[in-house]
Amino acid sequence: MGSNCNPSKRVEYRKEKDELRDKLKHIRFPALELSKTKGESLASEQNITKSLSKKAINLPKKKFYRQRAHSNPFSDHQLEYPKSPNEMNWTKLYPGFVDPNDPTKLLSKVTIADIGCGYGGLLVDLAPHFPHDLILGMEIRVQVTNYVEDRIIALRSKDPNGKKYQNIGVLRGNAMKFTPNFFEKGQLTKIFFCFPDPHFKQRKHKARIVTKTLLSEYAYVLKEGGIIYTITDVLDLHEWMVKHLQEHPLFARLDAEWENEDLCVSIMRNATEEGKKVERNKGDKYIACFKRLPNPEIIL
């Protein structure tokens, strides 16, 4: 943690943000209406509105949320996850897309996933370009997830029309273990892996986010014709991901011409904090995109 971040200030700041987050993360702005099914009274809503009028919902300060750059995906992180996709309550993440005829359902499903979303830069930059797609960030680190939640709350609150950034959400999760618990077969159209942990030591390569086994899970939740996007500044990791994706029978690499014309590739290059850091340091960025192929016919 940087010397400019006083520990007591950090604790106080996080406590204040935790309280605000609990009140606001399931609310659709600007109406500030809480679901009556959750037992919230009108008086509670008025108190929340009153408290907000006294203090603006500012964008979170990153220095108060800093954690280690990566986390061990094999550790027990005490994560919450549904037994199956149909048991996942997405209304908490996307209150702006709740079906007015059935408040337990959304008008559409998540179709874009940013695995290991970090501080949410890609989510925020993708949001206005895909206003009708629900975009999900999955992040395993607690404080980083909290930062993204607070960032989304602040961005939503600043839109007087209550439309911007309603289509992005974040949850704390481990994609290496629980991807099929959240997504149905063929649900996603795009999956992003931006600057994942390189796990340099050979004995740690099994913890990389792209492996033969994991690719079969990604192929399951990605629709035919869907795209996997990868970007890293580590050549060895880039070659590893390309090798495993090329060897998998359900993926085919897209050429450089396609990459140069694709909007998401353009956004992905500099949207993330890591990407901006690489840019400042004049480092290399290695990109590879793969298309999900149709399932092969089974001939009996």
Binding residues: 116, 139-140, 174-175, 194, 272-274
Domain-by-domain residue ranges, the chain?
7-292
Active-site residue (options: 197, 233, 236, 255): 197
The token pair at 110 is 């998540």
What is the secondary structure of 85-110 as a DSSP string?
A: GGG--GGGT-GGGEETTEEEEESS-E
Domain 7-292 has CATH 3.20.20.80: no
Give the pLDDT confidence score for residue 168 in this predicted structure: 98
76 is known as an active-site residue:
no
- Residue closest to 162 by CA, chosen among 95, 103, 89, 93: 95
Contact 133, 159 (CB under 8 A): no
The token pair at 243 is 């090798």
pLDDT tens across the length of the chain (300 residues): 444 667 788 888 888 887 878 877 777 766 444 344 444 434 454 455 455 544 568 899 888 887 665 555 555 556 888 999 999 999 999 999 999 999 999 999 999 999 999 999 999 999 999 999 999 999 999 999 999 999 999 999 988 888 899 999 999 999 989 999 999 999 999 999 999 999 888 887 888 999 999 999 999 999 999 999 999 999 999 999 999 999 999 999 999 999 999 999 999 998 998 999 999 999 999 999 999 999 988 887
d(CA 101, CA 271): 36
